[in-house]
Amino acid sequence: MTPLRALVFSLVAVAALRAAEETPPTPRAEGYRGIWFTLGQKSEYGDKYSGGLGTYTANHNPLAVYAPAVQKTFFVYGGSPDGSRALLCLIGSYDHRTGRLARPVVVHDKRPVNDPHDNPSLNIDPQGYLWVFVSGRANSRPGFICRSAAPYDLSRFERIGQRTITYSQPWYVPRHGFLHLFTQYTKGRELYWETSADGRTWSATHKLAGFGGHYQTSGARDGKVASFFNYHPGGNVDKRTNLYYAQTTDFGATWTTAAGTPLTLPLAAVQNPALVRDYAAEGRLVYTCDLNFDAAGNPILLYVVSRDYRPGPAGGEREWTIAHWCGGRWGFSTVAKSDHNYDMGSVYVQRDEWLVIAPTDVGPQPWGTGGDMVLWASKDEGRTWTRRRTITEKSEFNHSYARRPRDARDPFFAFWADGDPNQPSPSRLYFTDSQGEKLWRMPYTFPAGAESAAPERVR
């Protein structure tokens, strides 16, 4: 480094330190308390979805990132003050060196909102700054972008901007900046993206897809950002169906199919080159869960298919399905079956096997959102699956929305919340390791004055 460059670097570091010191401390929470929520759309077998939804939705991503520079996993979730019906957008961290959790920080107080559709997403830039994207809802509730005042530091956050964004999915692309996928309620729930080199100045918004409405789940690896999504016939979310996939390897300049076929955007017709499978023709609904990549960088999609939007036996067994692009075509396999459309989980790619962590067992509240968590494993790149281990059992409440940290490291390999889908209840947060052998519950209440605490070992 030249003397002049070193001086500039030093001055920038000093300025950042002073700015951090001038930013007031962000309020701390009492403990890890997830938000309880009900959509209020009830039928014979209960709510369409409800319960402990601190790590909801599948359309908020990432929710957690492992930072090797400090050996910590940072994660965000939707919580409540004193366990009441109100939304706090919180961030916490797990220190892999000490095995302790930091006291969670309230990045944004959403009260009087009590809806986890406004839950936050998280990513970390190369300098170590923590970026929290707080989702809005429709066109009536704004979203917010917040950044830590110092690298890898939970104590202070500054608000960068306010935007009309829902289901925020910010991905940091090396040497470019943020490529942010999100939803706007234009003609239904339509998909958009925008880019920014610094998180402060953003490009114009670009529409990815808009034909009836969509829910998307995305992922990123080695400069590739990818999205898979369904569509809503007539704008009806209860008719969500079909499976589509699109990717970009040049920071949004062009988008293609998995095969590399260029896409003309915005996608505006039900039948288009991004279509992976016509589930409408099969009479089945599609609920997206997680997107990952195999060792060669090919996409892996995890989702649930059903025949009825309502909870209960009318939809039959919900099938956990893998779609994998391999050998120039899409292959499909079934991981497991469960009893609810919103039994959300995540897919992992290890050196010699793939894993799925999901609430596929019927829990203490049958036909409700979630259940008991199970670890499934595949030794043949997702073609066949074997039940490896039951992670939770004899639970008080259903567990759901198992989330995968970006670059996940043991023991904080997956995390989620529990809750009673049938009535308001406390909601606790949990995490487990890659073998599903150990289970921890995060502290619901921290000791007075404590800034960190050890999780409770459940098994």
Summarised one tens digit per residue, pLDDT across range 300-352 is 999 999 999 999 999 899 999 999 999 999 999 999 999 999 999 999 999 99
Contact 242, 275 (CB under 8 A): yes
Omega before 299 cis (within 30°)? Answer: no
Helix-strand-coil split of the chain, %, nearest 5: 10, 45, 45
Number of Cα atoms under 13 Å in the Cβ half of residue 385: 22
Q: Which helix (H) or strand (E) holds 162?
A: strand 157-163
Mean pLDDT of 278-294: 98
Q: Is the dihedral of CA 345, 66, 136, 86 positive or negative?
A: positive
Per the structure, the complete domain to which residue 307 belongs is given by 29-457
Cα 304 to Cα 324: distance, rounded to the nearest angstrom: 14
| 369 assigned to some structural domain | yes
| 8 assigned to some structural domain | no
Cα 459 to Cα 440: distance, rounded to the nearest angstrom: 7
Closest alpha carbon to 54 in 147, 130, 117: 117
Q: Check pLDDT > 50 for residue 9.
A: no
Q: Check pLDDT > 60 for residue 16.
A: no
Measured in whole angstroms, how far is the alpha carbon of residue 185 from the centre of its chain? 20
| 318 assigned to some structural domain | yes
Cα 107 to Cα 129: distance, rounded to the nearest angstrom: 14
Cα 312 to Cα 183: distance, rounded to the nearest angstrom: 29
Instruction: Tell me how far apart the 2 most distant CA atoms of the chain are, in Å.
Output: 73
Q: Is the pTM of this model over 0.85?
A: yes
Q: Give the E-state strand segments of 57-139 in sequence order.
A: 64-67, 72-79, 88-95, 100-102, 105-109, 120-124, 130-134
Q: Check pLDDT > 90 for residue 18.
A: no
Q: What is the pLDDT of residue 17?
A: 47
Give the tens place of pLDDT for each residue, 70-83: 999 999 999 999 76
Mean pLDDT of 182-195: 97
Give the tens place of pLDDT for each residue, 289-314: 999 999 999 999 999 999 999 999 99
> 117: which 2 tokens?
């559709």
Confidence of residue 456 (pLDDT cuts 50, 70, 90): very high
Confidence of residue 12 (pLDDT cuts 50, 70, 90): very low
Q: What is the pLDDT of residue 24?
A: 84
Percentage of the chain beyond pLDDT 70 is 95
Domain tally for the chain? 1
Q: What is the pLDDT of residue 5?
A: 41
Confidence of residue 214 (pLDDT cuts 50, 70, 90): very high
Percentage of the chain beyond pLDDT 90 is 92
Q: How many CB atoms lie within 10 A of CB 187?
A: 11
Q: For residues 26-49, b (16+ Cβ closer than 10 Å) or e, as one string?
A: bebbbbbbbbbbbeeeeeebbbbb
Confidence of residue 29 (pLDDT cuts 50, 70, 90): very high
| 70 assigned to some structural domain | yes
Q: What is the pLDDT of residue 23?
A: 78
Cα 448 to Cα 218: distance, rounded to the nearest angstrom: 39
Give the tens place of pLDDT for each residue, 215-262: 999 999 999 999 999 999 999 999 999 999 999 999 999 999 999 999
CATH number at residue 100: 2.130.10
| 24 assigned to some structural domain | no
Mean pLDDT of 95-114: 97
| 22 assigned to some structural domain | no
Q: Which helix (H) or strand (E) holds 167?
A: strand 166-173
Q: What is the pLDDT of residue 22?
A: 61
Q: What is the pLDDT of residue 436?
A: 98
Cα 72 to Cα 79: distance, rounded to the nearest angstrom: 21
Q: Check pLDDT > 70 for residue 91.
A: yes
| 19 assigned to some structural domain | no
Cα 211 to Cα 244: distance, rounded to the nearest angstrom: 12
| 83 assigned to some structural domain | yes
DSSP state of 35: P
Cα 313 to Cα 324: distance, rounded to the nearest angstrom: 29
Q: Check pLDDT > 90 for residue 110.
A: yes
> 225: which 2 tokens?
């950002």
Residues forming a β-bridge with 306: 285
Q: What is the pLDDT of residue 15?
A: 47
Closest alpha carbon to 408 in 360, 349, 368, 364: 349
**Alpha helix (H) residue ranges in 272-411:** 279-282
Q: Check pLDDT > 60 for residue 202.
A: yes
Q: Which helix (H) or strand (E) holds 361?
A: strand 354-361
Give the tens place of pLDDT for each residue, 377-422: 999 999 999 999 999 999 999 999 999 999 999 999 999 999 999 9
Q: What is the pLDDT of residue 82?
A: 79
Contact 100, 148 (CB under 8 A): no
Q: What is the pLDDT of residue 83?
A: 66
DSSP state of 133: E
